[in-house]
A and B are shown apart, each in its own frame.
Chain A
Amino acid sequence: MIGDLRAETIHFPGAGGDLVEAYLAQPLDARPTGGVIVVHHMPGYDEGTLEMTRRFAAHGYLAVCPNLYTREAPGADPDDAAAAARAAGGVPDERFIGDAAGAAAYLRALPAANGRVGSIGYCSGGRQSFLAACTVDLDAAVDCYGAFVVGTPPEGFPLQVGPLVDRVGDLRCPLLGLFGGEDSYPSPADTAVLEQALTAAGKPFEFHTYDDAGHAFFATDRPSYRPMAAKDGWQRIWAFFGRHLSA
């Protein structure tokens, strides 16, 4: 069911009380519903990610995409902001956690909120969605091909992107993982390690790996786009959030 929606820029208090710019999309239908935090990838708060945010609202969810580069480049074009944030060392995990907690609180305070909130992220945002699921009060989380949940980054990587697999015991909600079989980061071996860790910790999860897809198969504006994998992936997302974000 594709519904009418309204989308706009808002601000909410994030880490350290800083006001974080964000894109809010919500269904016009005021029935109580769940919220989704959409975590953008390293190229930033871009048109493709905002389009995905609207898609969640069109499917009935309150969706908010925080601009994780608000502090580095307020008001800048998304690509310029991404460049400035990268040059400054990227987004520290602790700051992201504060922003994700702020986004969850903002969603839960909306008039149409049913109190349940999930997260989804792509690429670096996939890793951050997993991190949010370990640290923020969420009801469901989706990791789309996030690198370095498992595995040690090559030498020279910034410290803030260390592996998260040892935090698997802290996972607070069910996890859906969507991966490409041809991806190297994360590789199928990496996702197998994560799968084992989740199983050992007794955490609820569901992983799907698409053999004919690599990294970023959801990105319709990139050559990595794989329509069949993306189509199936979206169905998995609707089913997963349908189960866990309904009141």
Chain B
Amino acid sequence: MCTYQTTNVPVSGSGKGASGWFPVTAATVYFDHPVDAPAGHTLNIDFRNPDRGAAARVAVELDPAGARELAEAILAMLSAAPPALLTEA
């Protein structure tokens, strides 16, 4: 089914899309039908900059197990990083 569930997360950083690098201001996370991945449903993330139009987007469609591992790896990496570097960012 189309799950409709969507989480929008404000972020700041950069992403590399079809036209090169651009400032990323939002991430949209959802578990739903992929556009391209060969699966019924995937964990999808769109890194976007709405002010630059719909095409300012870096998209990933991930299998649920891999997505969970990725999320845990992100949290582990942030936990392991020297605190001073996190605040400097």
Please name the residue on chain A nearest to B38 by beta carbon. A223
* Majority secondary structure, B binding face: loop
> Which residues from 19 to 58 on chain B have a C-beta closer than 8 Å to any C-beta of chain A?
26, 28, 30, 32-35, 38-40, 46, 48, 50, 53-55, 57
A87 sits at the interface (CB 8 A): yes
A42-B32, A86-B30 are contacts. A80–B4 as well, Cβ < 8 Å? Answer: no
The count of chain B contact residues (Cβ–Cβ below 8 Å) is: 24
A83-B48, A223-B39, A223-B40 are contacts. A41–B55 as well, Cβ < 8 Å? Answer: no
B59 sits at the interface (CB 8 A): yes
A41-B33, A42-B33, A79-B59 are contacts. A90–B48 as well, Cβ < 8 Å? Answer: no
> Which residues from 50 to 80 on chain B have a C-beta closer than 8 Å to any C-beta of chain A?
50, 53-55, 57, 59
Interface residues of B (CB under 8 A from A): 1-2, 4-6, 8, 26, 28, 30, 32-35, 38-40, 46, 48, 50, 53-55, 57, 59
Q: A158-B4, A186-B1 are in contact. List 12 more A-B contacts (CB 8 A).
A: A43-B32, A76-B54, A76-B55, A77-B54, A80-B54, A83-B46, A87-B8, A153-B4, A156-B5, A157-B4, A158-B6, A184-B1
Interface residues of A (CB under 8 A from B): 41-43, 46, 72-73, 76-77, 79-84, 86-87, 89-90, 123-124, 145, 147, 153-154, 156-158, 161, 183-186, 214-216, 222-224
